[in-house]
Amino acid sequence: MSIEKQMMVGEVPVSPFSRLFSMPGFDCFNIVTIGFKNEASPSAFIEGLKNTLLNHPRFSCILETGSGEHKPRWIPTNVNVKDHVVVPNIDPTIENPDQFLEDYTSNMVFSPIDVCKPLWEIHILNIKTSDAESVLVGRFHHSLGDGMSLMSLLLACSRKTSDPGALPTLVAPKKSKVTNVWWSLVSRLWFIIKLMFNTVVEVFKFLLILCSVRDNATPLMEKPRATLTPNKFIHRVISLDDVKVVKNAMNMVC
């Protein structure tokens, strides 16, 4: 029987990407932190999630990994948004709210998620940090999607402040006009040659490292007999102007 006939109505087979990240002991999460200039309202977020995020099938389905002859599949379910919105009771007079935020997000990575409901959570922290009056921390299991797809979903769930009914717009890069067709063909051919050459060099270097040569020592490399320490989130605000300087220096388009 085909997979479609084995599935019940509404069920969707799990992609290889989602199967990989849902393996036992291999839980991976996407952590998103968003700061607000006002105190966050949990009730407003709950209503907003009902009208936006729940429209995406992955966020209203339970992931069943399957066993034996049963294939892994996404099973649609009725979602109670209140079960996915967490509002912890935080002391407003906390001494170091920025440190608290870093510790909170770091602990979310290692805490288990309830697999009996859709694999996402929204944590609303009404604490005043150095950059925001309140903070939203979202935790999404990696089987729901990667960072790029989740960012696209975030934009799709957002609206313009000037027009609440309109989606946000992104500035598209301007296409340069081709003045000489032959020069354009030569530049593209040269780009392909450089790409092939760099690929061969990198593959050769990888084989050397794999067979005999060791990586160069760097400050990021683990020292011999060092014990593993848990990772931690460090929150830093980066100026957009600095990002543009790096982009222009590398001749990148974003």
Please calculate the CA angle 93-95-35 and round it to the nearest 5 degrees.
80
Q: What's the Cα-to-Cα distance from 158 to each of 123, 163, 180, 212, 216, rounded to whole Å?
A: 18, 11, 42, 51, 45
Q: Give me the catalytic one of 70, 141, 142, 235.
A: 142
The mean pLDDT of 115-122, rounded to a whole number, is 91
Q: pLDDT digit string (tens) for 70-92?
A: 778 888 999 999 999 999 998 87
Give the pLDDT confidence score for residue 20 in this predicted structure. Answer: 78
Q: Kindly report the length of the chain.
A: 254
The mean pLDDT of 109-123, rounded to a whole number, is 88
Q: pLDDT digit string (tens) for 129-178?
A: 888 899 999 999 888 888 888 888 888 888 888 888 888 877 666 666 65
Give the pLDDT confidence score for residue 156 in this predicted structure. Answer: 84
Active site residue 141: no
Q: Which residues contact 140 (CB under 8 A, 6 or more apart)?
A: 29, 30, 32, 119, 120, 150
Give the pLDDT confidence score for residue 215 in this predicted structure. Answer: 63
What is the CB neighbour count within 10 angstroms for residue 140? 23
Q: pLDDT digit string (tens) for 198-224?
A: 999 999 988 887 887 666 677 666 666
Give the pLDDT confidence score for residue 167 in this predicted structure. Answer: 82
Q: pLDDT digit string (tens) for 10-56?
A: 577 888 778 877 777 777 888 889 999 888 899 988 998 988 888 88
Give the pLDDT confidence score for residue 94 in this predicted structure. Answer: 86
Q: What's the Cα-to-Cα distance from 213 to each of 204, 222, 226, rounded to whole Å?
A: 12, 17, 22
Report the distance separating Cα 29 and Cα 139, nearest Å.
6
Question: Is the CB of residue 131 less than 8 Å from the CB of residue 35?
Answer: yes
Average pLDDT value for the chain: 81
Q: pLDDT digit string (tens) for 23-34?
A: 777 778 888 899
Between these two residues, 88 and 180, which has the higher pLDDT value? 88
Give the pLDDT confidence score for residue 93 in this predicted structure. Answer: 81
Question: Is the CB of residue 127 less than 8 Å from the CB of residue 97?
Answer: yes
Domains of the chain: 12-157 (3.30.559.10)
Question: Is the CB of residue 101 less than 8 Å from the CB of residue 92?
Answer: no
Report the distance separating Cα 7 and Cα 116, nearest Å.
19
Report the distance separating Cα 170 and Cα 132, nearest Å.
24
Give the pLDDT confidence score for residue 3 in this predicted structure. Answer: 39
Determine what percent of the chain falls in helix, strand and coil, rounding each to the nearest 5. Answer: 40, 15, 50
Give the pLDDT confidence score for residue 23 in this predicted structure. Answer: 76
| pLDDT of 5 higher than 50 | no
DSSP code, position 37: S
pTM beyond cutoff 0.75: no
